Chains A and B, each alone.
Chain A
Amino acid sequence: MKQLLTPKRLTINIGLALLLLITVMFACSIIGTETVSLKAVFSGSGSQASVNPDYEIFVRIRLPRIILAGLVGAALACAGAVFQVLLRNPLADPYILGISSGAGLGAVIAVISGFNWTLWGRSPIAVFAFAGALGTVWLVWFIGRLTGKFHVTGLLLAGVVVNAFFSALMMFLTSIAKSDQVYATIFWLMGNMTEGDFLALWISAGCVIGGIAALFHISPQLNALSFGADDARIMGVNIFKTRTIAFGIAAGITAVAVSLSGLIGFVGLVVPHGIRLIFGPDHRQLIPLSGIVGAIFLIVADTLARIIVAPAQLPVGVVTAIIGGPFFLILLVKYSRKVSWLK
């Protein structure tokens, strides 16, 4: 038995989730290798001569990193939810159409060519990974269209083939690279939060939040699409427009996330399913809650990555996989009776 989603319920649920997000952000910004005194933070940045270290750590290091983790988590979780409905496949994640290998290839090329410049505060690795990710999605979309109008199977196969090909190229380049370059590449591939420039952070935040808002806007159409393209069109939904917008935005915010933090797995798969199991499949609720919970998930994971082996740091991708896997299994067992597609 479940109740119908009403604007009031949706607003309350989103509000509560946002409250939780803010609490988590606040809690995680206090935790760390250095103890930060809040009182000291609020006393300001200090003068030119004597910098206030608490303020510096809090505002310049921890806060940007937490915002970054939140953005990446939100983007990956929403993109995962969208790819799952577009491809009508519960196993889909943001990387399913070859974004991971495209971004990886871009990163490897950047590392090997040894570029040394920045664009909007981002390193060549980030810029190349972004371009690689978007280029790959475009290529997969293009090949998918050649096989038919929008054949899910065609798209998935194109994704698998492009993925395999780019992975092979990536391995080839890694095998001829110098060892320190290989290390940089592998470290990037594992997924990491690195404190970046504020400008890059704000631009990415705009892209991700705007993208999620647009996805929310088309969420009733995504609901209809879960019944398949023909059914959705029969009900009067413009499937070409819906699919193009959903596909473009999901790929775009994934590319932004990948360029910010490398390849972080599991968020895009675990979070949407968790939300679906607890709150149901309605995309009007699924999209915003996935975004917020994805942010919380990655902020917590990144905080763990910072403190578990302090003063060293773990790649956050390792943490998400280690806590995401069992967490998902518990959800799966506990709620599988509620949900039909698991049968």
Chain B
Amino acid sequence: MSGIIEVENLSFGYISESIILKDMSFEVAQGAFIAIVGPNGAGKSTLLNLMCQVLRPKSGMIRIDSKPIGSYGTQALAEKVAVVRQEFVPIFGFSVMETVLMARTPYYSPMGFERQADREIVDDALKSTDTAQFASRPLTSLSSGERQRVFIARALAQNSLIMLLDEPTNFLDLKHQVGIYDLLKTAQVEKGKTIIAVTHDINLAAQYCDEILLLGTDSSYHFGKTKTVFLPEKIKEIFKVDIFAGKVGQESFFIPLGKYAKNGKQINYESRGSEP
């Protein structure tokens, strides 16, 4: 049994001299929740764009549901992969309901209207993202946390196997960050979605994700169970920053330490002490 996404010897660079992703291979199991983590410029969003064919690989191969990604038509790929990109507002003022319904565009009746089944799928997506109460409001009248939930609802309404998210908690406060991750976890557990999120938040990733893909700026990568990838030395090495690592209950967390961190030595000592 092979994974729902198989990446094989993938290489990519925007210009020929510089390679961002080099000879990368990994496999994502169906129903997994995975975070792609790494410093700026490591190619996180690039990898996400490769997995939804916004970009084409330079060499290597990506298989979705055991078929090469290039062999899918636009609509067929949309049935497999839904994407939530970094927050984005359309040029004209569509309402929340209209926005989420657009996910059903390929399935509209010949007259150009949604069918009953589409309405049910959309209602379900609105309900599970807790956006139904402002379904008739224009997208632009929402806060960024609410809007992000609408775009997740739109991705859910595509009824795809896989959901890709590019920094879904960007610009959100603590409560809304946790809210989004709760939402994604629910979609994983209850709907069996395979979820891949690019994120800068190591702590939330450590809390929610089953596996981590850690990318380095030198085209190195680590893929594996969250516990085996998120080791203080590894994070220190990849992000090139001092880290304090600790535990609360079963959850590990990591705090970066800057040049001006007070009493830095003592904390560093603590961090060594807490390592397994």
Q: What is A's interface to B at a CB cutoff of 8 Å?
A: 1-4, 6-7, 85, 88-90, 216-217, 219-221, 223-224, 226-228, 230-231, 233-239, 276, 280-282, 284, 338-341, 343
Contact = CB atoms under 8 A, between A and B. Distances in A.
A341 B92 contact: yes
A17 B103 CA distance: 30
Interface stretch (B26-34, B77-85, B218-226, B238-246): B77-85
Contact of B93 (A223, A235, A284, A340): A340
A122 to B, nearest CB: 34
A234 B112 contact: no
A282 B88 CA distance: 18
B263 to A, nearest CB: 48
B74 interface: yes
Contacts of A226: 90-92, 94
A234 B92 contact: no
B136 interface: yes
Interface string B52-76: 1010000000000000000001110
Interface of B is mostly: mixed
Interface of B: 52, 54, 73-75, 77-79, 81-83, 85, 88-95, 97-99, 101-103, 105-106, 108, 111-113, 136-141, 154, 158
A340 B140 contact: yes
Contacts of A228: 88, 90
A231 B88 contact: yes
14 contacts: A1-B136, A221-B105, A226-B92, A227-B88, A227-B102, A231-B85, A233-B74, A236-B77, A236-B105, A236-B158, A238-B73, A238-B74, A280-B93, A340-B138
B103 A235 contact: yes
Contacts of B77: 236
A175 B130 CA distance: 66
Nearest to A240: B74
A90 B91 contact: yes
Nearest to B77: A236
A235 B79 CA distance: 9
Given A227-B102, A234-B52, 13 more contacts: A2-B138, A7-B113, A216-B112, A220-B105, A223-B98, A226-B94, A227-B99, A233-B78, A236-B105, A236-B158, A238-B75, A340-B93, A340-B141
B80 to A, nearest CB: 10
Nearest to A236: B78
Contacts of B88: 227-228, 231
A339 B93 contact: yes
A236 B93 CA distance: 21
A219 B78 CA distance: 19
B105 A235 contact: yes
A85 B105 contact: no
Contacts of A7: 111, 113
A90 B105 CA distance: 23
Contacts of B102: 220, 223-224, 227, 235
